[in-house]
Every structure is written in C-alpha cells, then in structure tokens.
Amino acid sequence: MSAPNPDPEARTVNLFAPEFARCPQEVYARMHAECPVARAAITNSPVISRYEDVIWALRHPDLFSSEMELQMALGTERPMIPQQIDPPAQTRYRKLLDPHFSRKKMAELEPDMRGYANDLIDRFIDAGRCDFDPDFAVPLPCTAFLRLIGLPLSDLEFFLELKNGIIRPQLKTQSIDQEVNRTARVESGRQIYAYFEEVIDDRTARPGDDLMTQLVHAEIGGERLSRNEILDICFLLLLAGLDTVTATLGCNIAYLAANPKQRRSLVEKPELTDGAVEELLRWETPVTGVPRVARKDMTVGGLEIKEGELVTLLLGAADIDADEFEASDRVDFERARNRHLAFGGGPHRCLGSHLARMELRVAMQEWHRRIPEYQVAPGEAPRYSPGIREVLYLPLVWDAPR
C-alpha cells in the first residue's frame, strides 16, 4: 500500500469540477505526488488513487464492500445485481450471467456490429461533419445492446432519458442540489422498474430468443429467479449497456482528433486497434472511479478511514500510476504490459468487458476505414460530463467524399 502522506486531512479533490472532467490526468498526477489518499471536496469521503491500493481494495470486498444501497441512492429500491452485492451471493449470479457475455458470444455479434457502424456512417459521411455523441457514439453500442437483451430500438430515446436521469440527473434538473437530483433519480428508477415489469410479463407469456427471455426462465440451484432478482439485474444492465461504451468511444475519438499522428498510425496499421483500445481505456478511463463502503476502521496512505464511510476507488488515477505503468504519461498503442483497471478488478470486474472491447474495436476500425482524417470543428471544443466522462459535445469535420 502507498506510503503515508503528510497532512492528508488538508488535501481535498473535487471529482465533479469541469476541469476534472475535461482533463483528469493532471488531477491524478497531483494526487500521486501530493496526497495519494485524499478526501472528496463535496462529501469529505476518502478517495484512493494509487494502483496498488486500488487493486488491493477491489480484491477485498470483505473490507471494501459494494453493498451500499443506503449509502448511495441511484433510484433503486434494492441493490443492483450483481454489482451491489458481495461474494458469496454475488458469485452465484456471476456464474449465471457470465456465459451470456463471454468472448465467444460477443464474437458472434461482431458482423452485425460492423453493419450497424457502417449504416450510421452512411447517414452523415457525405455531409463532412457530425456531432459524434448523438450521431455515432450513442446509437452504435445502444443498438447492439438492445438487440442482445431483446428490447425495441423504438424505445431508445426513452431508455436514454431514464439512464441519464440516474447517472446524470443534473443535466435534467439543471441543479446541483443533492435532494433535487435524488428525487429525479427516484422517479427515473420507478419508471425503469415499471418498464421491466411489463417486459417480464411479456416474456413469461411469449418467450423469445433474447437475454430477457433467458433471465425470465433462468434458474440458480434449481430455482427460478424471483421477479425482484430479474428487475435488479435489468436495472444494472440498462445503466451499463447504454452508457459506458458510449462514454469510452467519445473519449477515444476526442483524443485521436487532438492527436493526428497517433490517429494516422491506426489508419495505416489497423492491426494496432486492439492495443489502442486497451491503451485508451487506460489513459481515458471514462468510469473514473467506483464507490465502496469500508467494513472496518483502517488506515490507507496515512488517512484514517472509518467503518461505514463511502470510499471512492479512483480507477483513472490508478491507471496512470508511474509505479505500475512504465512511461505512464505517454499513450503507447504498442504497450507490452497493460493491466489497466478501466473494467475494475476483483470479483466485481465488469460483466460486459468482452462486449465493450468488441464494440470499441469494431467502431474504431470502421470509423477510421471510412473517415481517416477528421478534426474538431474550428472554433469548437469538446464538452465532457463529470462522473462517467461522456463527451456530450464533440463536433467533428472532415473532407466529404467526392
């Protein structure tokens, strides 16, 4: 674990500041140098930034628990499954769900993903410009996810509204008041539960060939999942499936637009794409941190953490830690050893990591095959959201095909 730091109580970090969303790497570097374990500016809760501390915490759910339904309200009535429960109960659900998101299963979806990507590009390539988030980064992974789970594409806008009501309620409420945003989350959560109640009834009466049907008829230990268990799984799948790949795609393309030499390396050598996906996950880490609840009093990096405190494990900071990554401040698509934590670690490692990797690889390959040269529109600048770093505004331009 990291060495004790001087006067950690005097150090705070604002994880929701606009400059943090825009360029968190500068904040991470200052934390590593000055205070590897700090306190959040708004909540005064502990924030852990060093790789060895973060991976240690991720691997010890007995000390840093994911069971936090009371401490972190996301509009849920119960913990989301399997993300907000710990082993051994969590392990049973992962054994049920992991096969549905295996590398082999995701490979079967790849041809359709390439078709979706090109259909989207066809809509705007001749215009020589697009707003990357709504025109490509949102619809591509969302279309793939909705087809996998078996939900209608016509409901996408409704799903996005509900998802943002949970993850980014401030965009809807135009308020930073925590109570106002908590109320918005609760209302969005109520609508998510109500929607999936109807889907469960439909798949019970009319089974289909999709993940929703498989969940409705799934068994653990010879017993069917309860209605609440299915609802709590679906709540998590909706949030994760409609947000994190979109956020990652936007961060990746914004980086490449600002770094034309590295962009051209992908155009000239598409075989570098897998390495680029991993390295940009490391460098950008759109899910900047994950919350955990301390299960006992402890001291980490010289900071006293009390039992019951909500602790943020800062994945993004861990991913640029010079003690773990050689030349950590350099983006290297051919990095030989890249044990990044963009998908978390330990028993709660991201369920959909194989799906995300496939979507990112396909999206970046097809985009650069069709639109090899692009830049941010002159006079414009990307606009990032805090928390999960989605590029809400990324206007791109290129020379339209003749």
Residue 64 contacts by C-beta under 8 Å, 6 or more apart in sequence?
57, 58, 292, 293, 294, 295, 311, 313
Output the domain CATH number for residue 128. 1.10.630.10
Q: Residue 27 and residue 17: Cα distance in Å, rounded?
A: 11
Q: Residue 36 and residue 28: Cα distance in Å, rounded?
A: 9
What's the one-letter identity of residue 129?
R
Instruction: Tell me which residue range forms the domain holding 125.
Output: 8-397
Q: What is the pTM of this model?
A: 0.91
For residue 2, being part of any structural domain is answered with no
For residue 261, being part of any structural domain is answered with yes
Helix (H, G, I), strand (E, B) or coil at 343: coil
How many folded domains does the chain comprise?
A: 1
How buried is residue 125: exposed, middle or buried, by Cβ count under 10 Å (0-12/13-18/19+)? Answer: middle
For residue 27, being part of any structural domain is answered with yes
pLDDT value for 241: 86
What letter does residue 243 receive in the DSSP assignment? T
Q: Which residues pair with 129 in a beta bridge?
A: 397
For residue 145, being part of any structural domain is answered with yes
pLDDT value for 69: 59
pLDDT value for 386: 78
- Is 373:119 a contact under the CB 8 Å cutoff? no
pLDDT value for 173: 76
For residue 308, being part of any structural domain is answered with yes
Helix (H, G, I), strand (E, B) or coil at 282: helix
Q: Residue 172 and residue 1: Cα distance in Å, rounded?
A: 40
The residue count for the chain: 402
For residue 358, being part of any structural domain is answered with yes
For the record, the structure tokens of 72 come out as 């972190």
Q: How far is CA 106 from CA 50, 61, 109, 352, 361, in A?
A: 32, 28, 5, 9, 12
For residue 402, being part of any structural domain is answered with no
Is residue 88 reached through a cis peptide bond, with omega within 30 degrees of 0 on the bond before it? yes
Buried b (16+ CB within 10 A) or exposed e, 24-50: bbebbbebbeebbbbbbeeeebbbbbb
Q: Residue 247 and residue 267: Cα distance in Å, rounded?
A: 22
Residue-by-residue pLDDT tens, the chain, 402 positions:
444 444 444 478 888 888 888 899 999 999 999 999 999 988 899 999 999 999 999 999 999 999 975 445 678 888 999 999 999 999 999 999 999 999 999 999 999 999 999 999 999 999 999 999 999 999 999 988 898 899 998 999 999 888 888 888 777 777 777 788 888 888 999 999 999 999 999 999 999 999 999 999 999 988 999 999 999 999 999 888 888 999 999 999 999 999 999 999 999 999 999 999 999 999 999 999 999 999 999 999 989 999 999 999 999 999 999 999 999 999 999 999 999 999 999 999 999 999 999 999 999 999 999 999 999 999 999 999 877 898 999 999 999 887
